[in-house]
Amino acid sequence: MDMASAPLAPQIWAPLEQHLLAGGSVALACSGGLDSVVLAHAFRQRFPQCQARLLHVNHGLQAQADVWQQQVGQWAEHWGFDYLSAKVEVVLNGQGLEAAAREARYAQFAAWQRPGEWLLLAHHQQDQLETLMLRLMRGAGVSGLAGMRPLRPFSQGQIFRPFLRLAKEQLLAYAQQQELNWIEDPSNADSRFDRNFLRQQVMPLLAKRWPGYAKSWQRSQQHLAEIADLTEDRWQEMLSHRLTAEQGLKVVAWQDLPAQDQYGLIRQWLALWGLSMPSQQWLQCLTQELIFARPDGSPQLSLTPDLEVRRYQSAIFMVPRLALPKLPSQLGLEPIVSLELGRLWLVPALGDGRSAVLKASAIPCQLRLRQEQDAIRIARRQGLRSLKNVLQEYREPPWWRERLPILHLGEQIIALADLCVAEGFMAEPGEQGFRVHWQRPLPTIA
CA-to-CA distance for 105 and 301, rounded, in angstroms? 22
For residue 85, count CB atoms less than 10 angstroms from its CB and return exposed for 0-12, middle for 13-18, buried for 19 or more. middle
Band of residue 1 on the pLDDT scale cut at 50, 70, 90: very low
**pLDDT tens, position by position, 13-39:** 999 999 999 999 999 999 999 999 999
Peptide bond into 441 cis (omega under 30): no
Q: Does residue 297 share a domain with residue 270? A: yes
Whether residues 189 and 270 fall in one domain: no
Question: To the nearest whole percent, how much of the chain has pLDDT over 70?
Answer: 90
pLDDT in tens, 268-280: 888 777 676 666 7
Residues written for the chain? 446
Question: Which burial class, exposed, middle or buried, applies to 20 when counting CB atoms under 10 A from its CB (0-12, 13-18, 19+)?
Answer: middle
Give the DSSP letter string of 225-246.
HHHHHHHHHHHHHHHHTTB-TT
Q: How far from 376 is each of 13, 313, 391, 406, 412, CA to CA, in Å?
A: 59, 25, 11, 11, 9
SS3 (DSSP) at 164: coil
Per-residue model confidence as pLDDT tens digits over 63-116: 899 999 999 999 999 999 999 999 998 887 667 788 888 888 998 998 899 999
Given 275, 296, 320, the domain boundary residue is 320
Q: How many other C-beta atoms are found inside a 10 Å radius of the C-beta of residue 84?
A: 15
Please choose, from the candidates 109, 91, 113, the residue with its C-alpha nearest in 3D space to the C-alpha of residue 100: 91
Say how far apart CA 274 and CA 127 lie, in whole Å.
20
pLDDT 10s digits, 373-427: 889 999 988 889 999 899 989 888 888 888 888 899 988 999 998 899 999 999 9
- Is beta strand 82-87 parallel, antiparallel or unpaired with respect to 406-409? unpaired
Per-residue exposure over 281-320, b if at least 16 CB sit within 10 Å of its own CB, e if not: ebbeebbeebbebeeeeebbeebbebbbbbbbeebbbbbb
Cross-strand partners of 312: 315
Alpha-helix runs per DSSP H in 47-96: 65-79
367 or 93, which is more confident? 367
432, 342: one domain = yes
Give the gyration radius of the chain's Cα atoms.
26
Task: Single out the residue in 320, 348, 368 at which a domain terminates.
Answer: 320
Domain match, 293 and 425 both:
no
State whether 251 and 369 are in the same domain: no
Let me know: does 436 contact 344? Beta carbons within 8 Å: yes
Instruction: Tell me the residue range of the domain where 416 lies.
Output: 330-439
Q: Is the pTM of this model over 0.75?
A: no
| 299 and 178 in a common domain | no
- Longest Cα separation, the chain: 83
- For the segment 142-164, the average pLDDT, to the nearest whole number, is 87
Please tell me the predicted confidence (pLDDT) of residue 336.
Answer: 54
Mean pLDDT within 367-375: 87
Residue 23 has a pLDDT of 92
Closest residue by Cα to residue 247 from 229, 228, 274, 287: 274
* Collapsed DSSP state (helix, strand, coil) of residue 12: helix
Helices and strands, number each (H, E), in the chain: 14, 21
Residues 335 and 386 in one domain: yes
Q: Is the pLDDT of residue 328 over 90?
A: no
- 183 and 248 housed in the same domain: no
Q: What is the CATH number of the domain that holds 264?
A: 1.20.59.20
- CA–CA dist 219, 37 (Å, integer): 28
Three-state DSSP state, 288? helix
Residue 232 lies in a domain: no
Nearest to residue 195, comparing CAs of 72, 305, 276, 102?
A: 102
The number of C-alpha atoms within 13 Å of 183 and in the hemisphere containing its C-beta is 23
Query: Is residue 204 one of the residues assigned to a domain?
Result: yes
Average confidence (pLDDT) over 188-207? 84
* Average pLDDT, integer, range 316-338: 68
Same-domain pairing of 115 and 148: yes
pLDDT at 434: 92
Q: For 422, which DSSP code?
A: B
Instruction: For residue 311, tell me if it sits in a domain.
Output: yes
pLDDT digits (tens, 9 = 90+) for 120-145: 999 999 999 888 888 888 777 777 78
Residues 293 and 403 in one domain: no
- What is residue 151's three-state secondary structure? strand
Q: How confident is the model at residue 3, as a pLDDT?
A: 39
- Say if residue 218 is in the same domain as residue 252: no
